[in-house]
A and B are shown apart, each in its own frame.
Chain A
């Protein structure tokens, strides 16, 4: 029972719990067993919280025993990317710098998921300080793609994507600064949502680039995704960039119907660098939506190619400032030195990995005297143009559609030699963060046995319409029911 139940969706698991077919403790134990069995290969987890998780599960089981009403996420085991603060539990950002950092407080999302009665299984791997597209930049481990252990899971939220794809957690939270939820969701064949900037509180999310970072869920199904977003989204007075918007019940948008919905296909997202097989797969997905009654036509987001340089200048500039606090004084790694200047320099030289240092260097340069106007200010102006592109497109369309990533998951080391090559592969995801709008990646098929993802982009705070399209697509396809095979064990696609 347990080994089957971990393959099920959150909503199915909820039914099992409510009907006492399975207890939260059994479910939690099953996930822990699964982690023990597959994580030595996959290395999604940096910290596993067996005892804490079982204690939480036991509490939920007491509620179930008393026939108390069970919330949609109560008793459901999940994982958090290791850049979200958990009080009393190490939060490392996959960096040597924070190897032993124990936050004195919870991120708002941690609090909200705790309040929702979820079971925290552990903290999952990522690129150091969320900087990367492959999770290869983790100080601790290389997380592998469950569909092919020779390939990366994507990044930076690689661990969070893998945990869900390989049934090591029922759902997980990642963060997305330039594609860090959507691209690994695409590479691992799961659903990943980057909500509108300001929809989910950033309090307790260890900042990479403050004006771009946003937390969102990884789930097996679109319904699950809406359920998790219901729990974590909404105004937080402790995050000044959180927006006091009218939060809907996102599951209300889960209707199997796209008739008359206007879907735009931005041609710039199909430029050079896109794998023709991926483009073909997305084309098939578009055809599915057309067959279901959506009105699809091509459109243009003319400033797309400028998004990469604008993004990397803005993100690294903010990062160079956000990461200045890691100096060996108040927390984190410290290198011993004669004087404080030496201590700062040595601590940061030894505590940060190469990609983090590279981005701090680029960002510091972009802000430095004499270059601010040419780089940072220019990038911010281009950001305005990119936003404007989207505003204009959304006058004509309800949703925009593209491949989530130009390729399927690549092999370890394939792109890490040249940082620019790695950066260029973010072309389909970074414009969304610059504009602050929501986007979701959903499973859209396979190329040579590796998953591809379809990205749907929406108007600010219109996650609902994205869920509607995603749900309709999911109900009329079976991509999401396929599971990777691990350790010779095949999880039946018909487990649901």
Chain B
């Protein structure tokens, strides 16, 4: 199944780059399976070289996020399955990932999944150590009458909230 692709001409390479991106973009977050790494803004670049080697750049969400290992392995696996026999994945820190890069489609998928998407832009978080927080909407009933239970939730990227209207707890994807 896996064959050497040899020298690709330019048109085919452009096509392959496009194709390779689409293949890499099918990889999902192991903790939030409704989100692809493209939705998250974690997939930064995909390039296919003359000899068919694919070079992918991912950027980590949080510095210590263990899901990055899985995402990186899944990208290699997805591209290998699609016939690319040489795949290299680099992790880049700059520019630093922000929830501002999450796609609108990704935010909608998150809400349908029961996780409220980041509310507001990273720059609007404010600067001082004592600060005010924007109200976070309940992803189930849309009420703004919610309460933060814990700033640090089930994963690095989420906080735990409770809705006072429908009384359900929910995860909130923190702005960063």
Q: Indicate whether A and B interact.
A: no
